[in-house]
Amino acid sequence: MNGLSTLLIVVGLFLVGGIYSFVKQQMPKGLIVLLSIAAAMCLVAGVLRLEVWN
């Protein structure tokens, strides 16, 4: 695992926690969807950058 993939995965998990918090606070659905897309992109990018695929 290199530093950038670790950072992307950590940021993605942080955003997932934000999604959970926003759902509990009953924030607008558009904001939750936007946060979900950002979290998914960070997690996918972090996993794809892992060095286990080579």
Task: Note the pLDDT tens digit of each residue in 3-54.
Answer: 899 999 999 999 999 999 999 999 999 999 999 999 999 999 999 998 876 6
Q: What is the pTM of this model?
A: 0.86
Centre a 10 Å sphere on the Cβ of residue 40 and count the other Cβ atoms it contains.
13
Asked if 32 and 22 count as a contact pair (C-beta separation under 8 A), the reply is yes
| Helix residue ranges, H only, 1-54 | 3-24, 29-48
Centre a 10 Å sphere on the Cβ of residue 11 and count the other Cβ atoms it contains.
17
Per-residue confidence (pLDDT) for residue 25, from 0 to 100: 96
Per-residue confidence (pLDDT) for residue 54, from 0 to 100: 65
